[in-house]
Amino acid sequence: MVDLYEVAGIKGMFLANKKTDNQVKTHITYNRGRDWRLLEAPSKDLRGNSIHCVLPYCSLHLHLHVSANPYTSGNIASRDSAPGIIVASGSIGAELTTSNVSVFITSDAGNTWRQIFDEEYAVLYLDQGGALVAIRHTPLPIRHLWLSFDEGRQWNKYSFTNSPLFVDGVLGEPGEETLIMTIFGHVSHRSEWQLVKIDFRSIFNRRCTEADYQTWHLHNQGEPCLMGIKRIYRKLKPTSRCVMGKTYLVTMTSGPCDCTEADFECDYGFERRTDGKCTPAFWFHPSSVSRSCTTGMTFLNSTGYRKVVSNNCTAGVSSEYTARRQQCPVQAPRGLHLVTSEGTLTATLGANVTFLVFLEEGDGARTSITLDFGDGHALTYSNVSSIEDGIKHIYKAVGIYRVTATGENSLGSETATLYLHVTCQLEYIHLSAPFVAVRNKEVNLTAVLWPSQVGTVTYIWWIGNNTEPVITLEGSVACTFSREGVSSVTVQVSAGNTILQDRKTIAVHEYFRSHLLAFSSNLDEHNPDVAEWRLDVSRVIRSSLIQATGVREDQLLVTVLPGLPTAAEFFLLPDKQLTEGKLEKSAAHLDQLSEVLLSALNQNLVQFTLRPGVQVTVYAAHLSAAPLVDTSENHSGSAMLMLLSVVVVGLAVFVIYKFKRKIPGLNVYAQMQNEKEQEMMSPANPTEATPSSQQDLVHSLEILDTEFNSRPIGKYPL
């Protein structure tokens, strides 16, 4: 339905524009929409020529827009003081159009129509509808109007001004009972408003008497019983030219009608078929009764029909179509339904969830309901009626819960199940990915959520230049990069109505070197553990390393790792300026750069100022499980040899440390050797003060042990 217009003065009468098969057509009803039909077009046009228009292929269509501006009329008008008279703009054809618009009028409430103008006109009701005034809708200046005293059958032309006027609006005096109207407009586009007041009282020479009125029977194509009554109105004869005045009142007499099938519409849950009968809709079960209906009580069993609202018919087929009162049946519960009050299958952690349980069939007052929330809690109610407002519950953990409602009485039971997803708000995600990766080598990507448990989560991964994402239910994926360069990885996490994402860039190379970094403890005091801070500090560390070692900018990357204590990792990348194909030379060059960086770190040469008064020292993290990552296959043998030598030296140190107290000569030698080395060391060069070989490392351990053994001896007198 596109437009709906209620006709004034006749109860239950409406006009509507309905869209059917992409065509808008005008329909009319006399019983509040129970029955609709098309409007029959006039048999002749304004000039008396016959109009060939056959229903249902051709009919009259009206524009039903009512003007919101009190100074302009709309496309249609009717008045309570003039029942049966309707004036509207429209067209004749298969559908409503905006071209070839004419003005039509009916004097018998839409049964027959006449064309009165072949252009658009504004029509006003004067003297209770005894006179009609029409002014042309045009952007051009005008000086004439049209007046009719016989319900639009004849129109007389009158001049209302000497100079043509651009009409902006027309306003009648308060109430339709007057014969005074005001036209306002302007002589030119630059002139001020002009008001023209017109008094039509001088046209009439007498007041109406009883002989000037006639009776008019309201009908619908000959059917006098509308809305259950026959209505007879007292109207002015079209041939009478007199003034009705303010004392005129519309009078109507009515008589009752016997009820027929036309006085009833389809009841709730029923639909009208093509043969006019009301049958149950596919979703409605006529045998269902109210859940409050208990054994020994009665209920109204619908026949599929109900009387149209405001219909006043009596007797007739009323008893046949009216709902009948019957005894409530005794039956087992059937059609148990379990839903949430919001109608959704999701809930928020810690919030009240309201469950609604209802029965389609069964003795609701004698059917107990048990609701298992799926989290170890359950409630039982004696009947369905006691839980009409719902059952509230709060979940304390996220997850998917199997909620079960069971209705049971002496005749049987029924169960309904609902799977509820309890979630909490996803606040933050972090994509954990390596800063640098080896070409064609598998890389693990992990999305870290906060909070870690938010319910059902979907992960959408956009890796590199792939046009299609990888969608998973797990927070980790493995991938490889086939080309060197910088690749981006984006992960989107969908949890409930929230979607968050994080993005990382990964430098892909044939091989590289890396090492973990540690810092002086004062850095942890200023670490807010946010991504922006880590990015800024990474740049500062990189600049400090380049300044201390002279490594080129394009060969060094630094990233600060999340969490506390603060840790970082540097990456040495291949030199692109070296000749391609000489992998051994480039790998050896990376080893040399790595030694330079580690040497600078071990000598505390890498420092930076975090803020005034806060000096941070960068160290090489010696206790890292993989302090130096060698990703080239050519050096796997040397790495194993180095690891084996470290193990052997460690065992030797342990043996010496364990048994040296039992060999006095060894202690003396170690102490003497320590004194000699101290004499040979230069205090100005910190590099020479560090052990340069595995043997120096053994001596250092022995010196510490000698000092430890000599302290308690010095406390006792010789």
* Shared-domain flag, residues 590 and 618: yes
| Whole-number CA gyration radius for the chain | 48
**Domain boundary at 381, 403, 423, which?**
423
Classified as helix, coil or strand, 499 is strand
Residue 213 lies in a domain: no
At CA 382, angle to CA 378 and CA 387, rounded to 5? 75
pLDDT of res. 583 = 62
Query: Which of 105, 102, 123, 122 lies closest to 114 in space, CA to CA?
Result: 105
The answer to whether the predicted template modeling score (pTM) of the entire model surpasses 0.95 is no
The per-residue pLDDT for range 459-503, each reduced to its tens digit, is: 999 998 888 999 999 999 999 998 888 899 999 999 878 899 999
Q: For residues 220 and 277, is the Cβ–Cβ distance under 8 A? A: no
* CATH code: domain of residue 357: 2.60.40.10
How many Å apart are CA 208 and CA 248, to the nearest integer? 9
* Shared-domain flag, residues 89 and 184: yes
* Shared-domain flag, residues 159 and 92: yes
pLDDT of res. 707 = 34
What is the identity of the amino acid at 666? L
Which segments of 127-199 are extended strands (E)?
Answer: 131-136, 144-148, 156-159, 166-172, 180-186, 193-199
Quote the tokens at residue 431.
């994509």
Residue 15 lies in a domain: yes
Strand 436-438 and strand 470-472: pairing? unpaired
* Shared-domain flag, residues 36 and 175: yes
Quote the tokens at residue 384.
């369905």
**Domain boundary at 477, 509, 541, which?**
509
Phi then psi for residue 245, to 5 deg, are 80, 180
Quote the tokens at residue 359.
């029965």
Residue 438 lies in a domain: yes
How many Å apart are CA 169 and CA 279, to the nearest integer? 52
* Shared-domain flag, residues 595 and 526: yes
Q: How many CA atoms lie within 13 A of 323 on its CB side?
A: 15
* CATH code: domain of residue 607: 3.30.70
* Shared-domain flag, residues 300 and 168: no
The alpha carbon torsion through 252, 256, 261, 265 (nearest 10 deg) reads 60
* CATH code: domain of residue 292: 3.30.60.270
Residue 250 lies in a domain: no
Phi then psi for residue 13, to 5 deg, are -100, 130
At CA 179, angle to CA 173 and CA 185, rounded to 5? 55
Classified as helix, coil or strand, 557 is strand
pLDDT of res. 651 = 52
Residue 232 lies in a domain: no
Report, as ranges of residue numbers, the positions in the chain whose pLDDT lies below 70: 67-74, 173-177, 287-296, 577-585, 623-718
* Shared-domain flag, residues 59 and 159: yes
* Shared-domain flag, residues 99 and 18: yes
* Shared-domain flag, residues 409 and 309: no
Determine the longest span between alpha carbons in the chain, in angstroms.
Answer: 155
**Domain boundary at 292, 327, 362, which?**
327
pLDDT of res. 291 = 53
* Shared-domain flag, residues 20 and 136: yes
Q: For residues 384 and 359, is the Cβ–Cβ distance under 8 A? A: yes
Q: How far apart are the first and last CA of the chain?
A: 118
Core vs surface per residue 55-77: b (16+ CB within 10 A) or e: eeebbbbbbbeeeeeeeebbbbb
List the domain range (segments joined by +) for residue 541.
Answer: 513-631
* Shared-domain flag, residues 442 and 553: no
Residue 228 lies in a domain: no
pLDDT of res. 543 = 92
Query: Which of 564, 565, 557 lies closest to 535 in space, CA to CA?
Result: 557
* Shared-domain flag, residues 197 and 175: yes
Residue 212 lies in a domain: no
Domain count of the chain? 6
Query: Which of 698, 626, 619 lies closest to 666 in space, CA to CA?
Result: 698
Distances (CA, A) of 23 to 96, 97, 187, 289: 8, 10, 42, 41
pLDDT of res. 218 = 92
Strand 346-348 and strand 412-423: pairing? parallel
Quote the tokens at residue 603.
């000598």
Residue 251 lies in a domain: no
